[in-house]
Amino acid sequence: MVDELAEPNILALENQVCFALAIAARTVIGLYRPLLEPLGLTHPQYLVMLALWQESPRSVKNLSAALSLEPATLSPLLKRLEAAGYVTRERSSSDERMLDLTLTPAGRALREVALTIPPRVASALNMSVPELVQLREVLHGVIASTATTSAAAA
C-alpha cells in the first residue's frame, strides 16, 4: 500500500521535466508537419526560413548562432533550400571565408503563405495567446538558464 502522505517519487517518469519537454516538443513539432508539407519544408527548414524572413542576407555563422545549430548541421538544410529555389548561397564580398544566405523572390513570397501557420498551430494547441506567450517566456527562461549553466561548466 502506498502512503498517500509520503513525498512524491522524484524519479517517477511523470514527475520529470525532461520527459514533459521531450513529449511536448515532439508533439508540437508533429503539428507542424502537415502544415509545412504543402510548402515543401521540414520543421528545421521552416526555422531557417523564419530566421531569413527576419534578416536577409545573413551569414551562415549568424544563422547558426540564431538557431543554436552547428554550421555543419545547417549545411544540408541550406543546400535543400537552395535546390528548392528559396535561398541563394554566395561567398561574402567582405570576407571570402564567410557564406551569405539571401532569400530569392520565391523564398520571400513563401512568407505570405507561412503567415497562416502560427494561428493554425495555436488553434491546434487549444491555447490562448496569453497562455502561449507565457509558455514561450518560461521556455526562453529555461534556455537562458541552461545556456548559462553550460557556459559555466565549459
Mean pLDDT along residues 128-133: 89
Q: For 3, which DSSP code?
A: -
Residue 8 lies in a domain: no
Residue 146 lies in a domain: no
Residue 53 lies in a domain: yes
Q: How confident is the model at residue 99 (pLDDT cuts 50, 70, 90)?
A: confident
Better-scored residue on pLDDT, 148 or 29? 29
Residue 87 maps to which CATH number? 1.10.10.10
Residue 149 lies in a domain: no
Please count the structural domains in the chain: 1
Residue 28: name the closest of 114, 128, 121, 117 by CA.
Answer: 121
What pTM was estimated for this model as a whole?
A: 0.86
Answer for the pair 98, 59: CB distance below 8 angstroms, yes or no.
yes
Distance CA 134, CA 130 (A): 6
Residue 58 lies in a domain: yes
Distance CA 63, CA 71 (A): 8
| Residue 49 domain boundaries | 16-141
Distance CA 85, CA 144 (A): 35
Answer for the pair 81, 48: CB distance below 8 angstroms, yes or no.
yes
Residue 106 lies in a domain: yes
Distance CA 85, CA 92 (A): 19
The C-alpha cell at 17 is 521535466
Q: End-to-end CA distance of the chain, in Å?
A: 46
Q: What is the pLDDT of residues 22-68, one digit of tens each?
A: 999 999 999 999 999 999 999 999 999 999 999 999 999 999 999 99
Residue 154 lies in a domain: no
